[in-house]
Structure 1
Amino acid sequence: MDSNHLEGALPHLPLSINYFTAKHNGFSGGIPLSICNRSLLDVLDLSYNNFTGLIPPCLTNFLILKLRKNNLEGSIPDKYYADAPLRSLDVGYNRLTGKLPKSLLKCSALQFLCVDHNKIKDTFPFSLKVLPKLQVLILRSNKFYGPLSPPNQGPLGFPELRILDVRKCLILLIGDITIYIGFT
């Protein structure tokens, strides 16, 4: 349903759906909680719409969740369970506040996390280095502060991280901490 100039509320989705993308439309209102009842839904992309309100509390149900460039508010739900299948979470360009959820540490399959251009205020999430597959971490244009690693523990220490985007700098980690910094 991508790029069809569809407007209004999101239509009711069949229970058997496993992939749904409706990006670049004009859907508005809240994301319906009924989306949480779609146990077979692995991929949900509602990016570039006009959704408002809170993010539903069922983020761990998906492998890929993209809610980029909407008008969502509140904080990212802190409802992740151990070994959640979530691989990719993109909630950039919303109006999210609060802190990154501590329960994200339970998402051992997470490879891509993007929260750029929100109003998140938190210390730098070096605790995410426990995620063994995290490759991309985009934190740009929020209010993260503090050291990039815990005191007396050396460099970042993310085992698979390849891209770290903080504020107006892009830092690429390749191999053993070869770092490229470019201002955007």
Structure 2
Amino acid sequence: MWKGPWYVPELKVLNLRNNSLMGIIPPSVRNATKLMNFSLSGNRVSGNIPKEIGNLSQLAFLYLFDNQLTGFIPVTLFNISSLLALSLGINSLSGPLLLDERNTMSNLKLLDISYNQISGCIPSNICQLTELKALSMSFNSITGDIPKNIGCLSKLEEFYIGYNPIKGTIPISLGNISTLRNLYSSNNRIVGQIPPELGKLSKFRK
């Protein structure tokens, strides 16, 4: 897709979605230091997500969904404190979701990793992402329980975890999220009872 290094220090928006672009995202993307909106969704981009994207300190929107990306999700993405939306769905990404312990991604509102091959558990420190409004993790290989402290995501509106081998019970703390409208958890291994607290959510679509 690109040949040679990037020399675009003033570039702020790069939107190439819904084309037939191929190739990889080069590590030299780090040179686009003022990039705020980066979209390659709906292409045929392959290879790994370069960890160098984590150097784009002004990036607010990263849309890479519906491509052929492989490998792990770089932890460096979660160093970008300016990031508002991270959409990586419909790829072939694998490995666990690992969040930076320093909680630098406090502004993130959308996290979409659905339709991949993500494994491991939902990290308990996902509750650091206190501004999240939409969390989509459906159609992966995520195991373990839903974190008991998931209720800390007090602004969450959409929560999609269907079609994973997630087990355990539905945490009572979900009932603390007054903004929650959609909970999609079909085709998992969840057991027990539905917490009555969910029935008290005024915006919940029952």
Deviates more, 1:62-71 or 1:72-81: 72-81
Where 2:199 maps in the other structure, the secondary structure is coil
- Residue 96 of structure 1, CA deviation: 0.3
1-structure distance, mates of 2:126, 2:44: 33
Largest Rg, 1 or 2 = 2
Q: Calculate percent identity across the aligned residue pairs.
A: 26
Partner residue of 2:201 out of 141, 146, 158:
158
In structure 1, the residue matched to 2:43 is: 4
- In structure 2, relative to structure 1, the CA distance for the partners of 1:17 and 1:99 (3 Å cut) is same
Partner residue of 1:84 out of 113, 124, 130:
130
Q: Does 1:30 align with 2:72?
A: yes
In structure 2, the residue matched to 1:170 is: none
When the two chains are superposed, the root-mean-square deviation of aligned CA atoms in Å is 2.0
Deviations 1:110-132 (A, max 9, x none): 00100000000011334311101
**Paired residue type of 1:158:** L
- Judge conservation of contact 1:83–1:108 (CA < 8 Å) in 2: no
* TM-score when normalising by structure 1: 0.80
- Residue 145 of structure 1, CA deviation: 1.4
Where 1:94 maps in the other structure, the secondary structure is coil
- Judge conservation of contact 1:24–1:48 (CA < 8 Å) in 2: yes
**More strand by percentage:** 1
Partner residue of 1:124 out of 154, 170, 188:
170
Large movers: runs of 4+ above 3 Å: 58-61, 80-83
1:135-150 alignment, distance < 5 Å: 135-150=181-196
- Residue 56 of structure 1, CA deviation: 2.1
Q: Does 1:105 align with 2:151?
A: yes
Listed as ranges, the gaps of 5+ residues in structure 1 are: 163-172, 174-184
Q: Does 1:57 align with 2:99?
A: yes
1-structure distance, mates of 2:93, 2:203: 33
Where 1:103 maps in the other structure, the secondary structure is helix
- Residue 156 of structure 1, CA deviation: 2.4
1-structure distance, mates of 2:48, 2:60: 20
* TM-score when normalising by structure 2: 0.72
Listed as ranges, the gaps of 5+ residues in structure 2 are: 1-39
1-structure distance, mates of 2:127, 2:185: 22
Where 2:174 maps in the other structure, the secondary structure is helix
**More helix by percentage:** 2
- In structure 2, relative to structure 1, the CA distance for the partners of 1:24 and 1:45 (3 Å cut) is same
- Judge conservation of contact 1:80–1:103 (CA < 8 Å) in 2: no
1-structure distance, mates of 2:128, 2:42: 35
- Residue 160 of structure 1, CA deviation: 1.7
1-structure distance, mates of 2:200, 2:113: 29
